Amino acid sequence: MPKSTNYYYDQLNKDQQRAYYAMKQGLLNLQDSFPVPMLSKKELSDIYFMIRMDCPEIFYSVTFSYKYYPDSTAVELVPQYLFTKDKIKEHRQAMDARVKKLARQAANLDEKGKELFIHDFIVENVKYDKLKKAYSHEIIGALGNGVAVCEGIAKAVKILCDELNIWCIIALSEANPDKGIKYRHAWNVIQINGQYYHLDATFDNTLSKEDVIRYDYVNLSDKQIFRDHEPVIWKVPACNDSDHFYYKEKKVSWTTMDEVRNRTKQAVKKGKVLLFHWRGGYLTKEVLSELLEVFDQEARAKEKQAYVSVNWPQAVLRVRFVDGVGEEQLEMEEANEGEKE
């Protein structure tokens, strides 16, 4: 297994590590209760969460209570399990078999190929659970039921990366009610060819429509990801490389209007969807207006109409061309569907 397996454990002090180890062993052994070193309630809650980020295979308990005894240096922690112990054992076997079966399909790919296999599997097979059921926060939601929230998706990405021996951790940001962000958000930091990158399969999942898989959030740098992600709660490695952003590598990251016009002509002629990243400076309202004019002119020349979707923070545009002349349609996309007001 890659060294990322104990990433959050390694961030803790000695007392916290002892609590982490006691919790992890208790959960793996499905104990009804077990002693852990006495720490603050927040420390215990944070550690419980960190264990489940380091070890997504512990998918069957999301919260706990504890008993405090005077004059004791420990508390008795009582996990709340989502299923009966027999069911947990069944689900464990099923999840282990599911992970291994999926990983075998990508076993002969290089690191980047494995990453894209996992990303595409999530986008094509998992639906965002707006009801936010408890199991949707875990791998059993994503890999067992095909529904998950961001946490369950990030855990599914991690456990598949672990199985394929790719360094991967889960990043977590806080909610921000002032921006209408009601919930914490989880995504992944992944190491590909020795470099760290952000990978948010949830955001790409919510953007992907009509059989077009989106890669707006594959291999982003810190500068790119934090345009529309809140700061992380717990430290993650710095991601400084922006040269291997998916669209840039695929040569659909364009810097001039001439290039956009030429590619637009090709897309209109072939009846294809135009999907690209704008890298010719900031995507200001003025630049967007100029791009929209290009789409409209080329569409009208072939008696078509342009439907434009814009992921503004990441400067990614998707354009469909349909028969019939009419007003150009513009949609501002929200990648974090389900996590805002």
Calculate mean pLDDT across residues 311-322: 95
Cα 283 from Cα 260, distance rounded (Å): 14
Q: What is the pLDDT of residue 165?
A: 96
Q: Can you give the pLDDT at residue 146?
A: 95
Q: What is the pLDDT of residue 140?
A: 96
Beta strands in 193-292 (DSSP E): 195-199, 218-220, 253-254, 274-278
Closest CA to 128 of 200, 58, 59: 200
More confident residue, 278 or 129: 278
Measuring CA to CA, how many Å separate 140 from each of 39, 103, 149, 252?
Answer: 30, 16, 11, 35
What domains does the chain contain, in order, with CATH numbers?
3-81 (3.30.1370), 85-248 (3.10.620), 251-332 (3.30.110)
Average pLDDT of the chain? 94
The pLDDT, as a whole number, for residue 2 is: 62
pLDDT band at 163 (very low <50, low <70, confident <90, very high): very high
Residue whose pair of structure tokens reads 């990243």 in the numeric block: 277
Alpha carbon 30 to chain centroid distance? Answer: 29
pLDDT recorded at residue 339: 58
pLDDT digits (tens, 9 = 90+) for 187-241: 999 999 999 999 999 999 999 987 789 999 999 999 999 999 999 999 999 999 9
Cα angle value 326/330/335 (rounded, 5°): 150
The stretch 262-275 carries a mean pLDDT of 95
Interatomic CA distance for residues 77 and 140, integer angstroms: 24
Q: Which residues contact 286 (CB under 8 A, 6 or more apart)?
A: none
* Beta partners for residue 219, in sequence order: none
CA angle 225-151-40, nearest 5°?
Answer: 100
Q: Tens of pLDDT along 15-62?
A: 999 999 999 999 999 999 999 999 999 999 999 999 999 999 999 998
Identify the weakest region by mean pLDDT among 178-182, 260-264, 293-297, 317-321.
178-182
Nearest in space to 340 (alpha carbons), one of 151, 131, 142, 176: 176
Question: What digits encode the pLDDT tens for the residues 89-145?
Answer: 999 999 999 999 999 999 999 999 999 999 999 999 999 988 788 889 999 999 999
- Taking alpha carbons only, the member of 149, 166, 150 closest to residue 158 is 166
In three-state secondary structure terms, 250 is: coil
Task: Give the model's pLDDT for residue 97.
Answer: 97
First to last CA, the chain: 39
DSSP annotation of 142 reads I
Tally of CB atoms within 10 A around 282: 8
Distance CA 119, CA 217 (A): 10
pLDDT at 130: 82
**58, 51 Cβ separation under 8 angstroms:** yes
* The predicted structure's pLDDT at residue 329: 87
Question: In this model, does residue 341 exceed pLDDT 60?
Answer: no
Joined together, the tokens standing for residue 304 give 């078509």
Indicate the range of 66-75, 234-243, 270-279 predicted with least confidence: 66-75
Do 196 and 209 meet the contact criterion of CB atoms below 8 Å apart? no
